[in-house]
């Protein structure tokens, strides 16, 4: 059974990052950016900022207890020919401003390979500031501090690709990604698989042609979850050796460095197990048994909404693959 109202409640109250935290994130990013932009030395080198990763892609989720929620944003800087032999100076220039200014100088902060990071009080939020340059070729390049070299990126292109795939999937791809990230982070499944890899692999399974023989292939969230994860499982099982995963934006960048054969093998096995568990819960025709199977997978947060009048056994829940795109009869007379 699908239990669409349970899924809605699960997303809104367990998986999704709250609107308050999203607003707080936006305000803090603006504060950091304004500080950098207003600096007498650094300001003239800064052109704009671009949100990056799960934040603009709308796949950010609530973190585990005791862990921060995090987000990245990119800061476009003017290319300085005097820094050509020491590209670390781009990140160092951002770090210098934060390191000398309150309140950031008193907060945990530092430099990593591609960013400058700031961690807020009580480990509640983590922000990465990623410097990048639009070079003479008109393309975006970030700096690999460790290698002292440029790396091609296309943040806007990736986000556009995500939006296109999400539209094909009836606006359910982002929801599926958030749920699978929840399984990884909160249920400790396929740990070690970076979000960029998970997002790319799930998104690449979404195709228009899949709806030719079944118009309801992505009709609702549980149906989309079933099909996208099952299709990913089929793809992975045909590839025992770690495949090369390219940036779908067309930047030409490979994500290969983000995992190992060992990590891939573990991920492949866990997706195979989850695909079977999702199908079992979806196909189960007994209401209580189906809820139990979904809860075995997702935990106690998968439950009926408290304020809903449609959470009883006779709500619009749908059953099995045959109900994927069909309307269900609501015996209680209430909306599902």
Q: Helix, strand or coil for residue 109?
A: strand
Query: 271, exposed or middle or buried, with CB in 10 Å at 0-12, 13-18, 19+?
Result: buried
Q: Is the pLDDT of residue 43 over 80?
A: yes
Q: Is the pLDDT of residue 32 over 60?
A: yes
Each residue's pLDDT tens digit, 104-134: 999 999 999 999 999 998 878 999 999 999 9
Token pair for 174: 């982002």
Element (H, E) at 133: strand 125-134
Which of 198, 221, 182, 199 shows the shortest CA–CA distance to 300?
182
Tell me the β-bridge partners of 49. Answer: 75
Q: What is the DSSP letter of 64?
A: P
Query: What is the DSSP annotation of 151-176?
Result: EEE-HHHHHHHHHHHHHHTTT-HHHH
Supply φ then ψ for residue 327, to 5 degrees: -75, 140
Supply φ then ψ for residue 207, to 5 degrees: -140, 140
| Residues 148, 164 contacting (CB under 8 angstroms) | no
Each residue's pLDDT tens digit, 15-24: 999 999 999 9
Name the pTM for this structure.
0.87
- Radius of gyration of the chain, Cα coordinates, nearest whole angstrom: 22
CA gap 336, 329 in Å, rounded: 10
Mean pLDDT of 11-36: 95
Residue 125 CA: distances (Å) to CA of 108, 109, 118, 257, 269: 11, 12, 8, 26, 32
Q: Between vectors from CA 129 to CA 128 and to CA 134, what angle results, nearest 5°?
A: 135
Choice among 127-131, 285-289, 316-320 with the minimum mean pLDDT: 316-320
Which of 263, 240, 133 shows the shortest CA–CA distance to 191?
263
Each residue's pLDDT tens digit, 158-172: 989 999 999 999 999
CA gap 49, 40 in Å, rounded: 18
Q: Is the pLDDT of residue 96 over 90?
A: yes
Mean pLDDT of 34-58: 94
Query: How much is the pLDDT for 65?
Result: 80
Query: How much is the pLDDT for 323?
Result: 40
Each residue's pLDDT tens digit, 242-267: 999 999 998 888 998 899 999 999 99
Query: How much is the pLDDT for 326?
Result: 35
Q: How confident is the model at residue 318 (pLDDT cuts 50, 70, 90)?
A: low
The chain-wide mean pLDDT, for the chain, equals 90
Mean pLDDT of 201-210: 98
Mean pLDDT of 20-36: 95
| Alpha helix (H) residue ranges in 101-191 | 155-168, 173-186
Q: How confident is the model at residue 316 (pLDDT cuts 50, 70, 90)?
A: very low
Please report the domains of the chain, with CATH numbers, ordered by start residue.
17-153 (3.30.460.90), 158-283 (no CATH)
Choice among 60-64, 208-212, 234-238 with the minimum mean pLDDT: 60-64
Which of 274, 272, 278 shows the shortest CA–CA distance to 239?
272
Token pair for 263: 């990590």
Query: How much is the pLDDT for 306?
Result: 87
Query: What is the DSSP annotation of 204-254?
Result: TT--GGGGSS-TTTTSSHHHHHHHHHHHHHHHHHT--SPPP-B-TTSS--B
Placement of tokens 């020491």 in the chain: 86
Token pair for 249: 């934006």
């Amino acid at each position: 059974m699908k239990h669409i109202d349970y899924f809605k409640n699960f997303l809104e109250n367990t998986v999704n990052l709250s609107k308050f935290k999203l607003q707080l994130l936006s305000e803090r990013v603006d504060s950091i950016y304004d500080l950098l932009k207003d600096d007498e030395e650094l300001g003239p080198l800064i052109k704009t900022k671009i949100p990056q990763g799960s934040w603009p892609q709308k796949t950010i989720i609530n973190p585990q207890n005791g862990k921060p929620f995090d987000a990245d944003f990119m800061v476009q800087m003017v290319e300085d020919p005097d820094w050509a032999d020491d590209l670390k100076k781009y990140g160092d220039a951002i770090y210098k401003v934060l390191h000398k200014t309150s309140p950031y100088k008193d907060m945990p902060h530092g430099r990593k390979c591609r960013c400058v990071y700031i961690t807020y009080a009580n480990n509640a939020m983590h922000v990465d500031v990623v410097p990048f340059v639009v070079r003479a070729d008109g393309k975006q390049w970030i700096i690999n501090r460790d290698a002292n070299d440029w790396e091609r990126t296309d943040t806007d292109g990736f986000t556009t690709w995500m939006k296109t795939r999400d539209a094909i999937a009836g606006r359910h791809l982002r929801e599926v990604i958030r749920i699978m990230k929840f399984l990884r982070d909160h249920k400790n499944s396929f740990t070690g698989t970076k979000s960029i890899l998970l997002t790319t692999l799930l998104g690449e399974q979404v195709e228009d042609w899949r709806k030719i023989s079944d118009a309801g292939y992505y009709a609702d969230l549980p149906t989309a979850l079933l099909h996208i994860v099952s299709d990913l499982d089929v793809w992975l099982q045909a590839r025992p050796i770690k495949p090369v995963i390219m940036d779908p934006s067309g930047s030409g960048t490979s994500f290969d460095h983000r995992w190992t054969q060992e990590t891939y093998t573990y991920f492949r096995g866990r997706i195979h197990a989850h695909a079977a568990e999702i199908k079992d819960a979806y196909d189960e025709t007994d209401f209580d048994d189906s809820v139990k199977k979904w809860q075995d997978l997702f935990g106690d947060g998968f439950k009926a909404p408290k304020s809903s009048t449609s959470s009883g056994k006779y709500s619009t829940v749908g059953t099995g693959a045959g109900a994927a795109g069909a309307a269900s009869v609501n015996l209680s007379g209430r909306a599902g």
